[in-house]
Structure 1
Amino acid sequence: MAASESKGGIGAHAAASADETSDFLKCPVCKREYTDPVILPCLHTYCRHCLASTLPQGDLGRALPFKCSVCKHEVIMPADKVEEGFKRNYYVEGVLNNKSPASGQRKCVVCEIVKKGGEVNDASSKCISCQDYLCSQCAVYHCATKLTRDHKILTFQQLGLAEYQKEIQANQAIPCATHTDQLLKYYCLPCQTPICRDCKALDHDDHKSLSLPAAFEVIKPKLLHKVEDLERRHDNENEKVARLTEMAAELEESKKKIQAIIHQRAEGLRKIVLFRENQLLEEIDNEACKQQAILAASRDHHHGNHTLLADVLQIIKNILQQGSPLEVLLLKPELSQRLDNLQDTSFDDSLPNQPQFKLKTSQEFETNLKTGMAFGKVEIDWEEVQVPMQPPPSPKLQAKAECILEFDSGCNFQTGISVSPDNEYVIVNENPGKLCIFTSQGKLKKEIVDISGTPLKNPIGICHLPNGTTVVTDIGNNAVMSLTSQWEQQQSLDIHSPQGVALNLNNHIAIAQHAEKCISIFSVDTEGLLTKTATIKENKSREIFAGPYSVAYMSTGDLVVGDLSQIQVHILSYAGEPKHAYTVLGPDNNKGQPYGVCADRYNNIFVADHNNHCIHVVSAEGNFVKYLVTRDDDLRHPWALAINHDGDLVVTQEEGKVKVFRYLEK
């Protein structure tokens, strides 16, 4: 979001002056123009008293986090309270002081002094030299005195015009907070703060300082470089929004397509079911008719036998019951013969098998029908989508890197280094396990030997998230820890043999696992909590790594891995597919040890070759570019690497030395 579009943001003087009703000049709490504006680290501005009123009373005076009400960025409450801890927003204050006042809003300061109790004229102009408001008559006399003849007066209309802004800024005068009778005129480079004449003489006498205009010419290009990076990030995010819009439309189209297929399949299945129903009913009708005919034939046969036997039995019984003895005896031969014939006749005692219809079904089909598998199952094919951020045009490498800072950390095994959002160097010492925080000038601020009561055993890698969250790997504890900006543990995950760690622009973290021969990928949420999402280990059933130790991300999203066992640096795609490999060989063609890797904003890859005492520069395609620093430059056993906020290369060495090299041409 452009600064002039957000509440409390930092915009252009002229733009702010041109739009006096803009929210730019209004406090997000009271909705009125700022009174005593203070700026937070997220660059949003509040009235000092409004900011204090939004915080719980118990928080005042304690270094506790709170969230900006505009952007929800977590901010640490200064230990010396909000009244003194947050910096005044001199820019917004200057815009307010130099904007065109409404008619009758300001009174002439000279009239107020001269006409005590009388009518005071409305001011119509302002002296930008002494900041006094004047009426048209007093403005003429103001430049007539010996003391004020060189003062510059602008009408209220001129105050709002862009053509006068540089002149207004040139006359800007801000007193020193320590020496209130002195104006800020110099800039201390080591302390990175404006100072007055007395500060320069008393407190910064051994520091290098520049005049404010000269310091501005030094600082502005550095800030513009960062602005360019942020603009590229902004454009990249815009491309992602556009791609996500396309993805949503494609998803809707895919949904409609599959819904149509489901309807078609359902209709087809209904037709199949109806056809099969009729077919089975016809089959059972035909088979029933056939079996009924068999049963009827058998029944007719046995019914005939039954009728024959009944007729014979009836005749014989009548003769025996009603005939005289003589009549029976006379018919005895015929009766006996008929009975014998019938008894000798072989009657078919068997009956047809009893037919019983059953419906035989498939248990698998029944199961699939109940689970819906017979009908179909909706699945999603995931296609990885990337919108890589284009690197800026790369300046040339200096013929010889310039060491601009060197200090001794007191750490003999500096396995990791990261630059915090506050531009501090945080160094990881493996043995004894500790984190050491240094200023950008190499002064020790703090040492940390345990995290929320858990001792650091053998920490190796470290990286910082933009919100101040720190991620540290500890091979001694077999853990990766997520720490708050106050160095308190908010999460600890068990992970075997964790080594180097790196963060990409999409808030994914890569951790090298030496013994496991893999890289584990974690996503990081807004609270700084990690969730494992993938493992990079094999490609086409073949192991990629033999001993991964150091990792870094390029701005394109590609992953760089230093492998100690293979003495190679692997360059992999965002998805973990191998793209290039660089074999680490020293100036004398000796095998190297890629203890540290990092990449700058231009996708130059740097490799710390520990046993060859040199820094390799490697292209994004895995080609050797040059040795940036060697043993001839007094480099000894380089270990961890990082790029600081000024784009310089920071190198830790065994035995405690830390060096910062400027390597790009201006």
Structure 2
Amino acid sequence: MASSSPKNALIDEYQELLTCIMCTETFKNAKSLSCGHSYCKNCLKTWIEKNKEKRNETFPCPICNAKHEIPKNGVDDYHTNITINSMVEILENQLSRDKNSKANCDICAQEGDDVPAISRCVECAENLCQACNKSHKRSQGTRSHNMYDLTGDPEKDARLALDNYVKRNIQCPKHQDQPLKFFCSKDKAIVCTHCCITEHPGHACQAIEEAADKEKRNISALFGLANQRKELFEKFIQDSSDNLQSYEENRQSLLKEIDTDHAAKCKELDEHFAKLHKELDEQLARRRKEQNENHTKLRNEAKAVANEKTKKIQAKQDQHELEKGIAESTLLHLTALIKHGHPVDIMNSSTDTAKKLQDWGRIPEEDEDPVDKYTYQPGTFDTANMVKLQHGIIPETLDKGCIVKKTRYCDPKVTRKVKLGDKNQGVKEIYGATKGYNNTIVLCHESPDGMSSYTADTFTKQHTANGGFNDVCCMQGNLYAAIDCNNKCISIYNHNLVHQKNIGKFQRPCGICEAPGKGLLVVDNTDKCVYLVDYNDGKILATIGKGHLTDPLFVTINSNSTVFISDYGAHCVKGFTMQGEEVNKYGTQGGGPDQLNVPSCVCIDPDNNLIIADQHNHRVVLVDENCKFIKYLLEPEDGMKYPQSVIINNEGDLTVGAESSGDLFVIRYKQ
């Protein structure tokens, strides 16, 4: 069946359908799995022996990886694909003779006589001469058989055989003298007349031809879904290719900008130090080495940025290719059933067709990550100060370039709402919060416990600590530092919320956060400032905001060491340096743009943006590190009253806790 000559055009038309994907040869005793894919009996047997999972006696389909249980009698228990086996038999037998040769009578051939055939019996699958044809029609056992006339043209006769073989009777495996004529809709079984009477009495049994005609509607519907999936995955694959190309173009652009900036900086260094080479030869060499190292680092960073994303896109593209292949193979199988499917085959696959219709009823959505664009920000030289020697020390005036990812924001969407009080009795008001260790969050709230850790995904309570707490943060050594309102100090707990020690003493402590590598920042509402205290003993190391704050509540710090403090009384958030200099401010009293009404908790997101709980306006605000408004992440119509705590979870989404109700909202605001 491998020929592609004109006389075998019919073979070429069906070659893909009738070729086993495992041995790449024409099917031999095809067996069908419930996922719809067929294989040679021996190929399937060999595959099961090599790939079966002994623990649960299953094996994966070689095409779609669907799991199948191994039957008691092995491959013998799988449905024989009557349609494929019959098509193979017809094409191989009918087209084995030359174009001009005549088909001989199969019955006379048994006696050694070559007598031209004029007809073919569908049931017996035999060619008959004129005499045998008459005898066949008169015989008691064969007079009801379906027969058709031969044309003498091998290809036309083969097509006639394909069109007529569906009329062939398939004998009941339990009653060999009875054909399978009925379908029991209750037991989903194909049965003969004797089976209807003895094993399915009273059941609704209809003629198999009628049942098959109805089932073809499901097959046609599944065919449409398969074709739709194929086209969708072709689109996904093309989109992946476009994304890969976009990343490559972005990478090349970054490398070009880095190299251009590197050349410009080197030229600037050369021109500057050419005038001073006698005095600054050594410094020139150091600066050039530093610039070259930075150049190499930036190029490697640019490559890593593109390579990591490229691998993810390629992995998804491979999955799309697999899904497309599954859809194509299903289309091939369904085409054969619609065009040539024997009623027995059609009804044998009815349960599997219904399941796949259900599984594929939901149209797959493209899950490609949006294309992140990266830009290069060149550094600068202050050549005026570069050569002023001060006791042999040259000021560090080189501002290195960096690669910056452009954040892609989406419309904020509340992806989850949790009434914590329903899950944990007694929880009414949420105060401070922090992203905890081991994929948890830690909340300070009004309840018998006072502070508890919860799983970040299900919000199931893990550990508790008794007391009155207003805020909490992580600190060095996998510890938590909490504002203990009862004892007016900082209480230190381990990751299981077991108390370790108390440090410091304050008038009215409210908010707390870690100042990485420096200590803890603590808001004292009575002293109207923020104290930087030592990790170990609570000793005050610095004072921030004294004289600038009216009613401070909560504090956070960004990667540039800017300290942001929410000022309850002034209805604003102010930013300070670690030295106490006020550098920026957001908010005035009110409910309009750039206004706040009782700001409470604040936090920093991974892009160094500031998030503010605008409590009495019932909203959450996102501003950049310079206190410029970006967007609202939560608004009154979202349904949360008096938002209080704000933290970024492990997925980069915002988790907001309500002071008044104990509600938790999870909000996605970035792509």
TM exceeds 0.5? no
Larger RCO (CA under 8 A, 6+ residues apart): 2
- Higher CA-based Rg: 1
